[in-house]
Amino acid sequence: MSASAIIFYCISAFILGAGILSVTTRKIFRSAIWLLFSLIGIAGLYFWMDVNFIAAVQIIVYVGGIVVLIIFSIFLTQKAGEEMPKPITKRLLFSILAVLLGFVFTYRLIDQYGFKESSDAGSFNVNVADIGTQMLSTTEHGFVLPFEAVSMLLLAAMIGCIVIAIKSKPEAKEQISNNKQGM
Amino acid sequence: MSPVPVTHILFVSTALFFIGMYGLFTRRNMITMLMSVELILNSVNINFVAFNKYLYPGKLDGIFFSLFIITIAAAEAAVAIAIIINLYRSHHSIDVEDAGELKY
């Protein structure tokens, strides 16, 4: 077994261990921190696969953005030290059963399929300039249309977030509470 | 040939996907459910990059798909957290069992 393979198995064990702890721990803040470790492990896996650009994007967007957002919302909505209630035993049992069944079924399919690995996988290196050129090219294999669509989506999401989370004015609030009392 | 067969990488992503599913099934707190969804999206990204690298090394399509998925996941997380905070304002709880007005 080469050193590269050993590094891969270490990274995967780290990702899966942190992921399992993140969905099973009962303190919500610890859960967020384990998620952070799992995402960092995934960034390490991208570095291992020689896709440095995706790894950098993963660290910037997930570790620097989404996890910080989640931690903020935990502080806004929860008492961070409290333990969450245990899931109902029946639901726990059936979800473990369903997940194991699905995992075994899917992995069996993957194992039997027999992927033909390309022989020059070692020569795969992603140039950021190539990504940029293809992203904005209007030829047949360009990605400029999805790029524009995603930029509109981001704008819409940003405005939508502000509209949803904005505090309503005091008089509007009173009206709502009056309506509630009337009902 | 690569030092690790591609099925082992797919094993990691499949396991991560079902860990996320387990979290989605058992957790009733909206923030933890959102974290499980993030795990699921990440496992899909690993798949795209691994297929791109090991099966079609001459192309970049998997890279683009994972970039778009990361973007959409960021937008989705922002909208979800806005909804969660709004729900907390009106219900003082973010447990999904407490928000059942639209259920029946």
d(CA A122, CA A133): 23
What pLDDT is recorded for position B92?
84
State whether residue A126 sits within 8 Å of chain B by CB.
yes
Q: Which residues of A touch B8 (CB under 8 A)?
A: 8, 12
> Is A61 close to B74, i.e. CB distance below 8 A?
yes
CA A126 to chain centre: 22
Confirm whether B33 is domain-assigned.
yes
Confirm whether B75 is domain-assigned.
yes
φ, ψ for residue A92 (rounded to 5)? -60, -50
Confirm whether B1 is domain-assigned.
no
Task: Annotate A73-110 with b (16+ C-beta within 10 A) or e (fewer).
Answer: bbeebbeeeeebeebeeeeeeebeeebeeebeebbeee
d(CA A96, CA B21): 10
Reported ipTM exceeds the 0.95 cut: no
What pLDDT is recorded for position B93?
83
End-to-end CA, chain B? 57
Report the residue of B12, B52, B76, B92 to disrupt the A interface, i.e. the one with the largest count of A CBs within 10 Å.
B12
Confirm whether B104 is domain-assigned.
no
In A30-168 the beta strands, taken as DSSP E runs, fall at none
State whether residue A96 sits within 8 Å of chain B by CB.
yes
| Mean pLDDT on A119-131 | 78
Confirm whether B94 is domain-assigned.
yes
What pLDDT is recorded for position B4?
84
State the CATH number of the domain containing residue B31.
1.10.287.3510
**3-class SS of residue A183:** coil
CATH code of the region A1-85 = 1.20.120.1200
Tokens representing A55?
Answer: 């790894």
> Is A102 close to B22, i.e. CB distance below 8 A?
no
Q: CB–CB of A74/A32 below 8 Å?
A: yes
Residue-wise pLDDT tens digits, A3-59: 999 999 999 999 999 999 999 998 899 999 999 999 999 999 999 998 999 999 999
State whether residue B16 sits within 8 Å of chain A by CB.
yes
Q: Which residues of A touch B80 (CB under 8 A)?
A: none
> Is B68 close to A99, i.e. CB distance below 8 A?
no
Domain count for chain B, please give it.
1
Q: For residues A153, A159, A160 and A165, what is the CA-based torsion angle, rounded to 10 degrees?
A: 150
Q: Find residue B29's DSSP bridge partners.
A: B95
State whether residue A64 sits within 8 Å of chain B by CB.
no
* CA nearest to A144 within chain B: B64
Residue-wise pLDDT tens digits, B23-79: 999 988 899 999 999 999 999 999 999 999 988 888 888 999 999 999 999 999 999
Q: B12: domain range?
A: 6-98
Q: Which residues of B touch A96 (CB under 8 A)?
A: 22
Q: What angle do CA A88, A90, A94 make, to 5 degrees?
A: 120
Residue A180 has pLDDT above 60, yes or no: no
Q: Which residues of A touch B33 (CB under 8 A)?
A: none
Sketch the domain layout of chain A as residue ranges.
Answer: 1-85, 87-117, 127-183
Confirm whether B29 is domain-assigned.
yes
Say what the pTM is. Answer: 0.88
Report the residue of B4, B29, B59 to disrupt the A interface, i.e. the one with the largest count of A CBs within 10 Å.
B4
* CA nearest to A59 within chain B: B70
Q: What angle do CA A72, A76, A78 make, to 5 degrees?
A: 105
Confirm whether B10 is domain-assigned.
yes
